Structure 1
Amino acid sequence: MYADTPTRRWTLRVVTPALAAVVALVALFLSPWTNSASAHGSIVDPAGRAYGCWDRWGDDHMNPAMEQEDPMCWQAFQENPNTMWNWMSLFQENLAGNWQSAISDGNLCSAGDAQGGLASSLDTVGPWTTTDISNDFSVHLYDTASHGADFFEVYVTKQGFDPTTDALGWGDLELVETTGSYPPASDITFDVSAPGRTGNHIVYTIWQASHLDQTYFICSDVNFG
């Protein structure tokens, strides 16, 4: 089911000589973040904001059409390309579960600016590209390092919240799923139910990785059909 993984698509993209310069650029951007783990992960379905930008534009990031077709990814790339390239590193460490004290309202999608100022564009309010889902849907984590999970918490914005005009705060979210633990794996998928939603929303996933106190915070823009 997941044969077409992010790693496979990335491999297919970078083997061409025309993209050799991009590979070097990616290596340059990623090297500062190899501190406590050599690789990380993100929610790829429904796509997290940074991952979605990379998935749609990573091999076509110089295309001027991005500005009109995907303006939120375009503004993120203009602010700092590393927001796109480093899609797998939206984490904070040693929070001991005190997430709301570490991440203020309006800064949830950047994981409290986890990239030291490089991912703040993920908090920009606007028409982010959405994934169409039903009220019963699955969340798919792709983890390049197979950290496993102590648990996931999945929140969905309350009906009436408009992600195109409203900054996301903790009070806008409703907890809809708390999972148990998962052993190390590159792909983890679990089911979620968020009844009563229609239209555009944000799915906010908190992933507590198992290898140390490292917590990921990921916004996925969705449209409930």
Structure 2
Amino acid sequence: MFGPARDCHDPNTLGAGRRVLTLVLSAFAAALLALVPWSGTAVAHGSVVDPASRNYGCWLRWGSDFQNPAMAQQDPMCWQAWQADPNAMWNWNGLYRNGSAGNFQAVVPDGQLCSGGRTEGGRYNALDAVGAWKTTDIATDDFTVHLYDQASHGADYFRVYVTKQGFDPATRPLTWSSLQLVAQTGRYAPANTYDIPVSTSGLSGRHVVYTIWQASHMDQTYFLCSDVNFT
């Protein structure tokens, strides 16, 4: 009626039990990991660190306190970015596209410049949000863009743009036509830091410094928005 009894020491019974236990423990561990924010970076790449790119600045200011509700009033653009996808800040060095072949305006449409054309599955989309992002003060016409390259990729070149005078990035989405090229470099040998000298003239108030970094190790391009205030 009940079928043959199974020996509790039968290897088949023990093996099946272990498999079930392993599956249960694996599911439990995955559930715990989903509840814990990850504070590392998946792959070492890089970003502009001065003037800070949008997501690097958010990580720098709030990475150790990203659940503080005060951010909503003190730094609302970072707040909306953290709410949209915290991994955009933890992975502040991963905002790139592969295979652009130099045709940047085709792969990065207007309104999507700060997210690199909604790259990485949309992880960085909140960086395109229009608003009063925190700015870095720049006191002179000539300044230096500092870029940190964790992986020492090197650069085929850098292009640095600044928004034109009269364009307000706090109220309008960033477009290619709103930018003016202020620096273009040659190759940089692989290193951890790069300095790109920039010369401007007649700029005042809020602007975006837009840096394109074409890495040397493969066709990998970084698109980086830094909010500044020319004093």
Deviation at 1:110, TM superposition (A): 0.4
The aligned residue for residue 54 of structure 1 is: 59
SS at match of 2:38: helix
The answer for unaligned runs of 5 or more in structure 1 is: 1-21, 32-37
One-letter code aligned to 2:81: A
Q: Does 1:174 align with 2:180?
A: yes
Deviation at 1:72, TM superposition (A): 0.3
Decide which of 42, 46, 50 is 2:47's aligned counterpart.
42
Larger Rg computed on CA atoms: 2
Decide which of 77, 82, 107 is 2:82's aligned counterpart.
77
The aligned residue for residue 185 of structure 1 is: 191
Decide which of 100, 106, 118 is 2:123's aligned counterpart.
118
Deviation at 1:117, TM superposition (A): 1.4
The aligned residue for residue 25 of structure 1 is: 38
Decide which of 201, 213, 217 is 2:219's aligned counterpart.
213
Deviation at 1:23, TM superposition (A): 8.9
Structure 1 runs (4+) greater than 4 angstroms displaced: none
Contact 2:38–2:90, Cα closer than 8 Å, also in 1:
no
Cα offsets for 1:154-192 (capped at 9, x unmatched) = 000000000110100000000010011111110111210
Cα offsets for 1:56-97 (capped at 9, x unmatched) = 100111111111111000000001111111110110111110
Scaled by the length of structure 2, the TM-score of the pair is 0.82
One-letter code aligned to 1:163: P
The aligned residue for residue 229 of structure 2 is: 223
Distance, in Å, in 2 between the alignment partners of 1:24 and 1:64 is 16
Distance, in Å, in 1 between the alignment partners of 2:175 and 2:67 is 33
Change (3 A) 1:72 1:24: closer
The aligned residue for residue 87 of structure 1 is: 92
Matches within 5 A, 1:90-169: 90-133=95-138, 134-169=140-175
Scaled by the length of structure 1, the TM-score of the pair is 0.84
**Count of residues paired in the alignment:** 196
Cα offsets for 1:36-64 (capped at 9, x unmatched) = xx410000000000100001100111111
